[in-house]
């Protein structure tokens, strides 16, 4: 139901970013789905959260161990903070965040005998970071002694990381496209081309409109049992979930990839066509690659059945 031009655009712009630069995208690594080359994550920022390596910036990558995500450090500079008694690390790919000597003075920090730490793979990268600091006004650059990875890293023990996940309009549109495709699959081409959906179609294809009219985050889990066990971190499935339903005269979908985060997508706010009963949900099993319908069960019916 999608023309070649739109399909090419969706693949190159929306789906490429959705599949590689989101928390759902890196979840694919656990299934052994590996990109041709390691992507640069612009929307995901992680730092090691504990131990002697705390603060070092890392990026996720596929692992040779099943159901595991590896991490590796990015090219970065550490500037020692004498108040915190630790290094603050800065990604070389975001050079404007690296403080200059004048920045440190403005913050009231000492600029004499500054300690710096360089996380690099070779001497070429090391020299590039040294030049970066010189350009920022650092004159006396003292190199820390080379160090080996701690034993727990070599043993590949689990490591906690903390970070920020940024969801922007491209990701919004990619997720909205999945729900709109689901609508077209269920109700057909003519229904999906109704004027009621002009705004969501323009948002998905041409980036027009206010994303707050269509996309809502931090929604409760789709499955009832997942809501009950939310605080325990227990979930019924690690597969994809999608639901299409009416909320008054608003047609909306709920989507959860890998059953991680749940998003609400409003396809239209006030439907003014011929009302069609619509309440459907499907589950995609990521291990068997099978699709199964989901059903909504009335609590009243369950109570009556128990009474009988």
Rounded to a whole number of angstroms, the distance between the first and last alpha carbons of the chain is 48
Whether residues 102 and 140 share a domain: the answer is: yes
Kindly report, residue by residue over 48-106, the tens digit of the pLDDT. 998 888 999 999 988 888 888 889 899 999 998 888 888 999 999 888 999 999 998 89
Torsion 237-241-245-248 (CA) sign: positive
Kindly report, residue by residue over 106-137, the tens digit of the pLDDT. 988 888 888 889 999 888 999 999 999 999 99
pLDDT at 67: 85
Kindly report, residue by residue over 158-215, the tens digit of the pLDDT. 889 999 999 999 999 999 999 999 999 999 999 999 999 999 999 999 999 999 999 9
Torsion 89-94-99-100 (CA) sign: positive
pLDDT at 34: 80
Give every CB contact of residue 271 below 8 A, 6+ residues apart in sequence: 196, 249, 250, 251
User: What domain range is 55 assigned to?
Assistant: 44-165
Whether residues 155 and 197 share a domain: the answer is: no
Give every CB contact of residue 157 below 8 A, 6+ residues apart in sequence: none
- Structural domain tally of the chain? 2
Task: For residue 15, tell me if it sits in a domain.
Answer: no
Cα distances (angstroms) measured from residue 249 to each of 194, 268, 271: 15, 8, 5
Kindly report, residue by residue over 203-226, the tens digit of the pLDDT. 999 999 999 999 999 999 999 889
**Measured between alpha carbons, how far is 192 from 180 in angstroms, rounded to an integer?**
8
pLDDT at 40: 81
Domain boundary among 107, 136, 165: 165
Region of residue 209 (phi > 0: left; psi between -120 and 50: alpha; otherwise: beta): left
Whether residues 174 and 281 share a domain: the answer is: yes
Kindly report, residue by residue over 101-114, the tens digit of the pLDDT. 999 889 888 888 88
| pTM for the structure as a whole | 0.85
> Residue 173 burial (CB < 10 Å; 0-12/13-18/19+)?
buried
Whether residues 160 and 225 share a domain: the answer is: no
Kindly report, residue by residue over 222-281, the tens digit of the pLDDT. 998 898 887 787 889 999 999 999 999 999 999 999 999 999 999 999 999 888 888 899
Angle subtended at Cα 64 by Cα 34 and Cα 48, rounded to the nearest 5 degrees: 90
């Amino acid at each position: 139901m999608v023309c070649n031009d739109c399909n090419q655009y969706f693949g190159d712009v929306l789906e490429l970013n959705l599949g590689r630069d989101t928390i759902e995208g890196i979840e694919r690594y656990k299934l052994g789905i590996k990109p041709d080359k390691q992507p640069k994550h612009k929307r995901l920022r992680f730092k090691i959260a504990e131990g002697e390596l705390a603060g070092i910036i890392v990026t996720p990558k596929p692992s040779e161990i099943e159901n595991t995500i590896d991490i590796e450090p990015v090219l970065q500079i550490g500037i020692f903070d004498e108040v915190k008694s630790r290094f603050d690390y800065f990604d070389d790919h975001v050079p404007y965040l690296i403080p200059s000597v004048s920045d440190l003075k403005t913050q009231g920090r000492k600029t004499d005998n500054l300690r710096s730490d360089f996380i690099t793979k070779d001497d070429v990268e090391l020299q590039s970071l040294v030049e970066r600091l010189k350009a920022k006004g650092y004159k006396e650059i003292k190199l820390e002694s080379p160090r080996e990875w701690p034993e727990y890293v070599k043993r590949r023990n689990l490591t906690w990381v903390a970070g920020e996940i940024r969801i922007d309009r491209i990701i919004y549109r990619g997720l909205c496209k999945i729900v709109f495709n689901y609508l077209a699959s269920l109700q057909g081409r003519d229904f999906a081309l109704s004027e009621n959906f002009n705004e969501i179609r323009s948002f998905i294809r041409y980036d027009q409109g206010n994303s707050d009219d269509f996309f809502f985050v931090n929604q409760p889990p789709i499955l009832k049992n997942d809501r009950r066990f939310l605080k325990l971190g227990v979930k019924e499935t690690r597969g994809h979930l999608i639901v299409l339903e009416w909320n008054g005269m608003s047609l909306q979908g709920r989507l959860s990839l890998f059953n991680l985060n749940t998003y609400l997508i409003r396809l239209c706010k006030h439907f003014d066509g011929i009302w069609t009963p619509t309440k459907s949900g499907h589950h995609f099993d990521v291990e068997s690659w099978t699709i199964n319908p989901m059903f909504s069960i009335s609590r009243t019916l369950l109570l009556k059945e128990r009474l009988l």
